[in-house]
């Protein structure tokens, strides 16, 4: 290890093993955010656990103590609330430093593309893209002061567009590109930016809303394909994922993309080396769209008769 990189490594260890290290985690009330808050507190961070619902965070507050877990109610889709949060931190933190901003809050959107209304699309982009961009901008000076780290929870859906998840995929692709560009711009300020391209992890983000009654896919084979989007596959526990990501954060390396979670590396290989027509064929069959096509053709043949 060169002297330059060893110095940076030691500096980062001094920051992250300091018991006064400050982390901000959004979407902290469940899943990845909840487990990250737990793991960061266990590694000496004081965590401002941000979420719209604070009740679930109280368990972590009881476990680690109010000096380690500081719940903060915020809806990151509302920029006024983000500005208020920044002002709160500026008055709360005497040294004006945030060592880690973990942009994790997420909004599901698993519908047929043509069923996505303006409202659904806006809600998804406001949380998954605009909210992260706005909070990063507002807290940037505090992070630069600390020479800290910014992490975004990306998704394999941002590199492979899955059927019935195209709007969600678009939000994740957007945040991937934002993180990659920000990584370069923050490098002169010694701030790391990490894009955590996440595979299967046990979370509560799954879409619970039913298919709209007027959907083009509202027939038996279409409904079957729609349900196939949430097939039960083996997923990594959120606590295991959090442990892996905290190791990345504590490490001296400066990666852009980090692949974690079930099937994350497989998705990377598929996206890099499998021709698009082959990948599309696999997704078409896996999501039972071949059955949808057969049904539509049969109905068309009957009408022509």
Q: Which residue of the set 8, 68, 97, 172 is catalytic?
A: 172
Which letter, b or e, does each residue of 269-293 get, where b requires 16 or more Cβ atoms within 10 Å of its Cβ? Answer: ebeeeeeeeeeeeeeeeebbbebbe
Q: Which residue of the set 21, 29, 155, 262 is catalytic?
A: 29
Decide which of 270 and 148 is more confident: 148
What is residue 1's predicted lDDT score, i.e. its pLDDT?
Answer: 45
What string of DSSP letters covers 84-117?
HHHHHHHHH-TT---SEEEE-------S-GGG--
What is residue 231's predicted lDDT score, i.e. its pLDDT?
Answer: 67
3-state class (DSSP) for residue 73: strand
% of the chain at pLDDT higher than 90:
77
| CB-count exposure of residue 115 (10 Å: 0-12, 13-18, 19+) | middle
65 confidence band (pLDDT: 50, 70, 90) = very high
Active site residue 21: no
For residues 248 and 193, give the distance between their C-alpha atoms in angstroms, rounded to a whole number.
Answer: 12
What structural domains does the chain harbor? 3-214+233-274 (3.40.50.720)
Residue 176's region, left for phi above 0, alpha for psi from -120 to 50, else beta, is alpha
Active site residue 172: yes
For residues 285 and 178, give the distance between their C-alpha atoms in angstroms, rounded to a whole number.
Answer: 32
What string of DSSP letters covers 118-184?
HHHHHHHHIIIIIIHHHHHHHHHHHHHHHT-EEEEE--GGGTS--TT-HHHHHHHHHHHHHHHHHHH
Q: What are the tokens at 36?
A: 């990250």
3-state class (DSSP) for residue 236: strand
Interval 261-285 mean pLDDT: 92
Active site residue 168: yes
> Which tens digit of pLDDT belongs to each residue from 210-238?
888 899 999 999 999 888 876 656 789 99
What is residue 302's predicted lDDT score, i.e. its pLDDT?
Answer: 55
What is residue 201's predicted lDDT score, i.e. its pLDDT?
Answer: 93
Task: Identify the CA nearest to 199 among candidates 107, 110, 264, 106.
Answer: 264
What is residue 19's predicted lDDT score, i.e. its pLDDT?
Answer: 45
- Cα angle vertex 193, ends 187, 196, to 5°? 150
């Amino acid at each position: 290890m060169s002297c330059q990189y060893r110095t940076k490594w030691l500096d980062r260890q001094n920051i992250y093993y300091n018991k006064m290290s400050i982390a901000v985690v959004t979407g902290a009330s469940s899943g990845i955010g909840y487990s990250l808050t737990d793991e960061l507190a266990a590694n000496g961070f004081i965590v401002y656990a941000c979420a719209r619902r604070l009740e679930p965070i109280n368990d972590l507050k009881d476990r680690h103590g109010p000096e380690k877990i500081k719940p903060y109610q915020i809806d990151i889709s509302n920029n006024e609330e983000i500005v208020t949060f920044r002002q709160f931190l500026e008055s709360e933190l005497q040294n004006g430093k945030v060592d880690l901003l973990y942009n994790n809050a997420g909004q599901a959107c698993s519908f047929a593309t043509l069923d996505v209304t303006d409202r659904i699309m806006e809600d998804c982009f406001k949380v998954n893209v605009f909210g992260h961009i706005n909070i990063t901008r507002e807290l940037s000076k505090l992070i630069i002061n600390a020479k800290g780290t910014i992490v975004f929870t990306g998704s394999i859906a941002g590199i492979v567009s899955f059927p019935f998840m195209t709007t969600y995929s678009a939000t994740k692709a957007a945040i991937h590109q934002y993180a990659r560009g920000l990584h370069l711009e923050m490098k002169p300020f010694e701030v790391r930016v990490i894009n955590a391209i996440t595979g299967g992890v046990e979370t509560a983000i799954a879409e619970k809303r039913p298919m709209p009654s007027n959907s083009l896919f509202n027939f038996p084979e279409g409904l079957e394909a729609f349900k196939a989007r949430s097939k039960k596959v083996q997923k990594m526990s959120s606590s295991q994922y959090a442990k892996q990501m905290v190791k990345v954060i504590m490490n001296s390396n400066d990666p852009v993309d980090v692949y974690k979670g079930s099937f994350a590396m497989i998705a990377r290989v598929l996206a890099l080396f499998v021709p698009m027509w082959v990948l599309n064929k696999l997704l078409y069959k896996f999501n039972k769209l071949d059955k949808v096509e057969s049904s539509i053709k049969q109905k068309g043949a009957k009408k022509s008769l």
